[in-house]
Structures are given as structure tokens and as C-alpha cells.
Amino acid sequence: MKKVYNRILSIVGNVISVRAEGVSNEELAEVKTKRGTSLAKVIKLDNDMVSLQVFAGSRGISTSDEVRFLGAPMKVSFSEDMLGRIFDGSGKPRDNGPMLNENMIEIGGPSVNPSKRIIPKRMIRTNIPMIDVFNSLVVSQKLPIFSISGEPYNELLARIALQAEVDMIILGGIGLKFDEYMYFRDKLEKGGALSRSIFFIHTAADPVVEGLMVPDLSLAVAEQFALNGKDVLVLLTDMTNFADAMKEIAITMEQVPSNRGYPGDLYTQLASRYEKAVDFEGAGSLTLLAVTTMPGDDVTHPVPDNTGYITEGQFYLRNGRIEPFGSLSRLKQQVNKDTREDHRAIMDGMIQLYAQYLETEEKRSMGFRMSDWDKKLLKYGGLFENEMMDLSVNISLEDALDNGWGILNQCFEPDETGFRSELIEKFWPKS
């Protein structure tokens, strides 16, 4: 059944084409070159002309190299043995452990039936006030971290991974720098979390196309663990690299680009990955956090823009802090009604005041005289930034709420805050 073809008709970018029959769409093939063997995936069929994207890149491929079709789409092994292991972008071990070949599962499987989904209602506490108080993370949520290069996004990701209450962690690295990869490994090892983690790492040194499989591999394995009752946290970094790899293939295939060279199906492609986040009724769950770096700090860039429409909110990382504006957890309403009755009021009220502070700050920097009200706002803004926004703050949700009332009390009279009277009576610090 496994036919071998050794006449490659064209090599353009990382896409090769051969004439072959009986090949199915998205089937996997092996390309044997002098440098070694690489996997390739069928991406287009036109009569007997088959186009394949070569994961290891086309560099060094000869027109007489062997192409052997494997008769099945990409699969990955799934077992408990994977825990603590590190794999590369095509699912091969990157550590020195054995190759895993048992219990192969298909990747990029069908989508979950919406009528089987349940309303998410379990909060994941992280002890980061900007998340817990203002934008609570919820089981089964899909959330990107929007960031510019140089921000400590991987540090934040690692901290959430260590502090979040989940059963296991799957890290998918796409175009990760080698030292970032080592950072994650060391951090999780020190935190004692490596034995409940699985890594799929594609580094910046690896062929670009290989990174395309990382999200699918990570999510397929995570989905299986979730079906087996585990609460899985999937971390993907960085999805902009993934989108760029897709762009590269699309341009090679001469697809009409839609926006800044990205293919028209960028939204659909990203969505089919992000939508894997789910809470299975009667089984486990899959929560997805993904870093999306914004080229030039531009949130209207196609990648963050499309991502924002797909995910259930986003965390903006700017100047080393989770920015309160723009950051949003769409699922927070599901959980923050059951935490403490002042949770929602603090969440909205403090942000509204912080917005006014920023306006005052702008006036101040333009040299206007500050009214009494302005002075109050300035004091408030400073306290808020230091005691709530700073990423080093590591306190529980309840402590953070109390802290919020404390800050308000230091700066304002109760009726200046716009809170409902009953809450003020109950929570405004006396004396």
C-alpha cells in the first residue's frame, strides 16, 4: 500500500509537489533526503498532482528524493508515559527518552458539539489580583496574553502554570528561543510541576513549518487527558509565530492574501485551535492560555485582532503589568457572583476611578492646576498601581478585595465613588 515516488516536480518555498494517485487530503508522507527523513502533509490535490508541505523545510531536497505516502493523517501517541517528557514539533522526543508509538490518536479531530458544552463556573485562582479580582480565569476558558516583545509574558505564563489549581500542564512552544525553553523547564522543575507537564517544543532554530503542528499536537493530547477526567491547562507561546508560519505556506501556495499577507482563513484556523478549550460534563477540562505578541504594539494587527474575536477575553501585558483597560475575561461574570458580594462592585468601581485618574494624569502632564478632586485621583492612581497592578503582588482574592476598600478609604469620601449605598455601609472601612 505504501507507494514510493521519486520524482519531485516542483519545490517552491517549503511546498513540494509530486504526481501520485490514490492519495487522500491531509495524508502524511515521508520525504527521504540525504540529510535525513522529514514528514510532509498533503495540502492540495489537483488530479494526480499532489502538493505537500514539508515540515523540515525544503532546503537540500533533491528532485529525485523519495516521497513515501503513509496512508493516514498525522497522529500522536497518547499515554500516561508522556508526563514529564519533552517532544518536538513533529511529536518526536526532544529529551533522551524513548519514542512513543502506542495508542496513536488523530490530531485536529472534530469539534465539540455545542449542545454538549456546559456553562463554565469553576474559577481558577492564581493569586494575581489583576486576574483574580478584575478578570477572573475560569476553567475551560481560552485566553490570549497580548504583549509586545520584551515583556515578561513567558514569566507570567510560568507563574500562572505553577500557581493555578490544575491537574496537569501542556506547554506548546512555537518558535521559542532556546533560553526561553530552558527557562520554562527549569521553572517548572523547581516548582515541582515537571512531572505533571508535557512539553511540545518547536524552537526558533527548527524549520518554521514544523511549528505548525505544535498547537494541534498539544491540544489533541490535552483533549484526551481531559476526556479521562483531568483538568488540563494548555499554554501556547507564541501564536503569532504560528500565524506567520501559516502565512508563509499560504503565500507559497499563491493564495490571495486578505490582510497584511495573512490568508483569508486565518480566523477559522485560529478558531479551530482555540475552540478546543472545553469543560466536559462528567469528565475533565481543557483551559487554554496563549501568548500573542503584537508586532509594533498594534492590537489591530491581524493576528491579535482575529484572536481577540475568538477568545473569551484577553490579558494585555504592558510595562510589566496586566493593563486594566482592554484586558477582559468574558467568563468572569460566571464566577464572580459567588465569590463575595462586593467583588463585582470593586471590579467595576476601581477601574472606573482608575480611568478618571489616567485622564487627570494627562491633564497634569500638560501642566494644568490640579483641583482637590484631581489630587485625590492622583493619590488613588498611585496606590492602585503599586498595590493592585504590580505583578509581584501575590495575595488571595479576599485579601485583594479588602485591600481595594482600604485604598478607596485612603483617597475618597464614600459618595465620590459611585458605589451602591448598601455596599458602602457594609464594606467601607470604619474609622
Partner 1 sequence: MANVNKGHITAINGNMIAVAFEDSIIQNEVGYVLIDEQRLKSEVIKITDDTAFMQVYEITKGLKVGDEVEFTGEMLSVTLGPGILSQVYDGLQNPLPAIAEGYGFFLPRGVVLDPISYKKKWHFTPTAKQGDVVYGGSIVGWVPEGVFEHKIMIPFDFKGEYTVESVQKEGDYNITETVTVIKNAKSEKINISMSFEWPVKIPITAYNQKLVPTEPMVTKVRIIDTFFPVCKGGTYCIPGPFGAGKTVLQQLTSRYADVDIVIIAACGERAGEVVETLREFPELIDPQTGRSLMERTIIICNTSSMPVAAREASVYTATTLGEYYRQMGLNVLVLADSTSRWAQAMRELSGRLEEIPGEEAFPAYLESRIAEFYERAGYVELLDGSHGSMTIGGTVSPAGGNFEEPVTQATLKVVGAFHGLSQARADARKFPAIGPLESWTKYLGIIPDERVKDAHHILRRGNEVHQMMMVVGEEGTSTNDFIYYLKGEYLDFVYLQQNGYDPVDAVSDPKRQQYVFDKIYDILYTDFHFDSKKEARHFFNELRQLTIDWNYIKMETDEFKVQEKNIDKHIQSAVSKKADKNDLKRSGNK
Residue 415 lies near partner 1 (rule: CB under 8 A): yes
Residue 293 and residue 240 in contact, taking contact as beta carbons nearer than 8 Å: yes
In the complex, what is the shortest distance from the CB of residue 2 to partner 1, in angstroms, rounded to a whole number? Answer: 16
Residue 109 lies near partner 1 (rule: CB under 8 A): yes
What kind and span of H or E run contains 279? strand 278-279
Q: How far is CA 422 from CA 110, 152, 342, 425, 426, in A?
A: 49, 40, 10, 5, 6
For cell 487527558, the residue is 225
In the complex, what is the shortest distance from the CB of residue 368 to partner 1, in angstroms, rounded to a whole number? Answer: 4
* Tally of CB atoms within 10 A around 222: 28
Buried b (16+ CB within 10 A) or exposed e, 336-351: beebeebbebbbebbe
For cell 515540515, the residue is 55
Nearer to partner 1, 64 or 300 (CB): 300
Residue 57 lies near partner 1 (rule: CB under 8 A): no
Contact track, partner 1, 356-395, x by CB under 8 A: ---x--xx--x-xx-xxxx---------------------
In the complex, what is the shortest distance from the CB of residue 281 to partner 1, in angstroms, rounded to a whole number? Answer: 8
Nearer to partner 1, 163 or 259 (CB): 259
* Tally of CB atoms within 10 A around 150: 8
Q: Which of 10, 12, 26, 186 binds partner 1 (CB under 8 A)?
A: 26
Enumerate residues 6+ apart whose C-beta is below 8 A from 414: 424, 428
Q: Which of 263, 284, 381, 404 binds partner 1 (CB under 8 A)?
A: 263
Q: Which of 257, 295, 320, 382 binds partner 1 (CB under 8 A)?
A: 257
Contact track, partner 1, 175-214, x by CB under 8 A: ----------------------------------------
Residue 272 lies near partner 1 (rule: CB under 8 A): yes
Residue 65 lies near partner 1 (rule: CB under 8 A): no
Give residues 295-354 in contact with partner 1 (rule: CB under 8 A).
Answer: 299-302, 305-306, 308-314, 325-326, 328, 330-331, 333, 337, 344, 348, 351-352
Enumerate residues 6+ apart whose C-beta is below 8 A from 345: 419, 420, 423
Buried b (16+ CB within 10 A) or exposed e, 83-107: ebbbbbbbbeebeeeeebeeeeeeb
CA-nearest of 324, 147, 175 to 242 is: 175
Residue 8 and residue 16 in contact, taking contact as beta carbons nearer than 8 Å: yes
Q: Which of 189, 418, 425, 429 binds partner 1 (CB under 8 A)?
A: 418
Residue 267 lies near partner 1 (rule: CB under 8 A): yes
Residue 102 lies near partner 1 (rule: CB under 8 A): no
Nearer to partner 1, 193 or 310 (CB): 310
Give residues 213-252 in contact with partner 1 (rule: CB under 8 A).
Answer: 227
Enumerate residues 6+ apart whose C-beta is below 8 A from 294: 146, 147, 148, 240, 301, 303, 304
Q: Which of 2, 36, 102, 116 binds partner 1 (CB under 8 A)?
A: 116
Give residues 281-300 in contact with partner 1 (rule: CB under 8 A).
Answer: 299-300
